């Protein structure tokens, strides 16, 4: 399909807005949105990003939704206990008095939209590997492409201050670079061997699980999630575009994401919704309890049925549902969890899942709701922060953005965040993969170690060649 894009009209609207903003005497966001045809948002981002860009890709293929952002017109960063409220306030203050054209009857995420994420911990990402990822960071891209159903929207953003001509020139270059891009295929016969090693030996994880079980049985916590880290060194730089293309082919029901900086990229195919906010409605999914898949449909169904009947997994799952409901209830007219868990099957793993819906009585932005729910017991533990202290003691790694909220929020403060699991941090030839398990009173260290393998198996084949 050919690209349909009236570049001159779009840039003219931006110029008019910047001239109008210049008379305000204060920093003002200017944006313009047009509908386009023939563009694959994430493919365009990979094809046209600059080496100096921060960039973002997000796609849920089965839902027909994709969002991509290039560059940074403005960025809000923070750390510490107030990082979610800091970002919520910073994002709102810029978009509140914006000058915008083309925003009539747009779907969510079209128009000005903030993209980014948060580390798992309030000050997470202190290690050198995570140096280009702040503990909390949401950027307003210079250019975004949003596909919702069969319609695609292009938005340009700029913050008015000095230097308008240079800004328009840069925006023109971004728009002119767009074309009919596609994502490349992964090379199945990449030359050379990828080195794979556990950052800590498997018996370290088994020992941590055994200690956690002792603490749980002693009443210190009810549940704690412990994770492992795997390091890969490929013979050549990883092809991020091909990795993303493979993710959206293999995991079409998942949140396929890529948060990129000039130095690194955090990528993943997460099955877990942290929160989705649309007006006064909020929804999430409690996802805890997992089992492997089988290529034999009968065996696969049997494994799923055993998962449904597992007292250990049902108990772990109920802890997550209970916490989510208790966090949403004070802000809601009503909170409604589904009737017991069902089994959700993705490419190589199946999970117990319970949807939770709420009607909000107290208006909160998507970022604020993400901060309210993070970390759920599915990736942290219960009670929190006692479980967090146990993670710090036993896990022995910097999670960075692994298991943190990743997502977007638009100018209406609607948005969605997933949990950054089934993920990897990629820097040139090196990649770090993460996988964790929920530990409860009757967890078995050897079984918990084995259960991390299918979780790492989501990304490992894509990065190991």
Which residues belong to the active site? Answer: 223, 272
Question: What are the beta bridge partners of residue 103?
Answer: none
The span from the CA of 213 to the CA of 222, in Å, is 9
Other beta carbons less than 10 A from residue 207's beta carbon: 14
For 97, residues 6+ apart whose C-beta sits below 8 A from its C-beta are 28, 29
> What φ, ψ does residue 255 adopt, rounded to 5°?
-85, 105
Nearest to 438 by CA among 285, 317, 293: 317
Distance in angstroms between the alpha carbons of the first and the last residue of the chain: 32
The span from the CA of 273 to the CA of 271, in Å, is 7
Please provide the DSSP assignment of 118-156 as one string. Answer: E-SSTT---SGGGTTS-SEEEEE-SEEEEEETTEEEEEE
Is the Cβ–Cβ distance between 180 and 1 less than 8 Å? yes
> What φ, ψ does residue 226 adopt, rounded to 5°?
-115, 140
Residue keyed to tokens 């409860």: 440
Is the Cβ–Cβ distance between 288 and 347 less than 8 Å? no
Q: Where are the alpha helices (DSSP H) in 256-310?
A: 297-309
Half-sphere exposure (Cβ direction) of 165: Cα atoms closer than 13 Å: 0
Residue 322 is inside which H or E element, if any? Answer: helix 311-328
Other beta carbons less than 10 A from residue 103's beta carbon: 17
> What φ, ψ does residue 338 adopt, rounded to 5°?
-65, 165
Residue keyed to tokens 């202290």: 389
Ramachandran category for residue 442: left, alpha or beta (phi over 0 → left; psi -120 to 50 → alpha) = alpha
Is the Cβ–Cβ distance between 380 and 387 less than 8 Å? yes
> What φ, ψ does residue 215 adopt, rounded to 5°?
-65, -35
Residue keyed to tokens 């008015």: 160
The span from the CA of 434 to the CA of 420, in Å, is 10
Produce one character per residue of 87-99: b if its CB has 16 or more CB atoms within 10 Å, e if not.
bbebbbebbeebb
């Amino acid at each position: 399909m050919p690209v349909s894009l009236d570049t001159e009209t779009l840039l003219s609207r931006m110029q008019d807005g910047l001239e109008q903003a210049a008379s305000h005497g204060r920093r003002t966001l200017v944006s313009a949105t047009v509908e386009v045809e023939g563009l694959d948002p994430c493919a365009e981002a990979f094809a046209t990003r600059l080496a100096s860009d921060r960039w973002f890709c997000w796609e849920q293929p089965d839902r027909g939704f994709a969002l991509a952002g290039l560059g940074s017109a403005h960025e809000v960063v923070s750390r510490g206990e107030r990082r979610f409220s800091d970002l919520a306030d910073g994002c709102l203050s810029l978009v509140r008095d914006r000058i915008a054209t083309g925003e009539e009857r747009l779907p969510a995420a079209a128009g000005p939209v903030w993209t980014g994420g948060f580390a798992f911990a309030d000050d997470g990402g202190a290690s050198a590997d995570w140096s280009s990822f702040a503990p909390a960071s949401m950027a307003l891209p210079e250019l975004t492409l949003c596909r919702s159903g069969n319609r695609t929207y292009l938005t340009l953003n700029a913050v008015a201050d000095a230097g308008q001509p240079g800004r328009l020139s840069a925006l023109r270059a971004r728009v002119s670079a767009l074309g009919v891009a596609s994502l490349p295929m992964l090379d199945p016969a990449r030359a050379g061997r990828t080195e794979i090693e556990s950052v800590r030996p498997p018996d370290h994880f088994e020992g941590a699980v055994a200690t956690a079980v002792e603490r749980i049985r002693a009443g210190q916590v009810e549940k704690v999630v412990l994770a492992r880290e795997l390091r890969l060194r490929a013979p050549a730089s990883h092809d991020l575009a091909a990795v993303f293309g493979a993710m959206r082919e293999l995991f079409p029901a998942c949140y396929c994401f890529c948060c990129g900086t000039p130095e690194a990229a955090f990528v993943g195919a997460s099955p877990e919704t942290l929160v989705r906010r649309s007006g006064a409605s909020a929804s999430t999914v409690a996802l805890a309890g997992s089992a492997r898949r089988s290529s034999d449909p009968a065996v696969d169904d049997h494994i799923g049925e055993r998962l449904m009947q597992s007292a250990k997994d049902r108990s772990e799952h109920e802890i997550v549902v209970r916490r989510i409901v208790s966090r949403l209830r004070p802000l809601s007219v009503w909170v409604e969890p589904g009737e017991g868990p069902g089994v959700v099957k993705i490419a190589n793993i199946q999970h117990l899942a319970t949807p939770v819906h709420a009607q909000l009585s107290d208006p909160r932005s998507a970022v604020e709701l993400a901060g309210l729910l993070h970390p759920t017991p599915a990736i942290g533990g219960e009670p929190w922060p006692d479980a967090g202290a146990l993670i710090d003691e036993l896990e022995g790694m910097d999670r960075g953005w692994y298991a943190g909220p990743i997502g977007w929020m638009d100018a209406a403060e609607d948005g969605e965040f997933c949990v950054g699991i089934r993920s990897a941090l990629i820097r040139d030839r090196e990649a770090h993969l993460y996988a964790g398990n929920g530990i409860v009173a009757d967890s078995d260290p050897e079984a918990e170690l084995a259960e991390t393998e299918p979780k790492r198996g989501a990304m490992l084949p894509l990065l190991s060649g």
